[in-house]
Amino acid sequence: MIVGLGNPGKKYKDTKHNVGFMTVNKIAYSNSAKLIEGNGEYYYAEGKLLQNDFLLMIPTTFMNNSGIAVKELYDKYDFNLNDMMVVCDDINLPTGKIRLRSKGSDGGHNGLSSIIYQMQTNDFPRIRIGIGREFNKGQQADYVLSKFDSEDLDLIESAIDAASNICGHFIMGGIKEARDFYSKEYRMQKSNLPNNKEIN
């Protein structure tokens, strides 16, 4: 399962806080999977990638309550949390930089914090997409809810493409294949985001 974090509604479409939504929408479009309203606080899509079934989900709660939607879907499908990849933004990474981890703390991200609280564990994979932190003290909320500057769009689009590819390999072979693909394609070879991705 791939979970993209963000805020619902046209007001927040394509804002920095919504790169998780953008990634899930990219995966859905690439695999002809349509996100539909679920029986809970989320939209979801079922699909197949090279004979591998997958599930996509975006919460319809606001970011701070993302865990409610994850818990609802967990109760419905009873999946292993190691089979859930969460995609979110990260102000602590430069714009366009990607970090893949198999588990960890919320790192100050309210969406991850909500999931950890609801599921009572931080043991699930996540991809963080850097959005930078070019804001003054007290202006973080306005910054993450703003749209990307034109000079950052290419970086973000490339990062979303990369995150989508990593998620594809996660669907096909779990975190090991996702990490192997990331290491091979984004650490050992030149890419359109040179020296701009990191795996831990």
- Which of 1, 196, 5, 2 has its CA nearest to residue 115? 5
128, 164 contact by CB (below 8 A): no
Q: For residue 17, indicate whether it is catalytic.
A: yes
Q: Which of 17, 99, 109, 169 is catalytic?
A: 17
Tell me how far apart the alpha carbons of residues 76 and 94 are, in angstroms, rounded to a whole number: 37
Our CA dihedral for 26, 32, 33, 36, rounded to 10 degrees, sits at: 90
3-state secondary structure of 8: coil
The one-letter amino acid code at 38 reads: G
Two tokens at 57? 């989900």
Give one word for 105, left, alpha or beta, with left for phi > 0 and alpha for psi -120 to 50.
Answer: beta
Tell me how far apart the alpha carbons of residues 3 and 41 are, in angstroms, rounded to a whole number: 13
Q: Which residues are catalytic?
A: 17
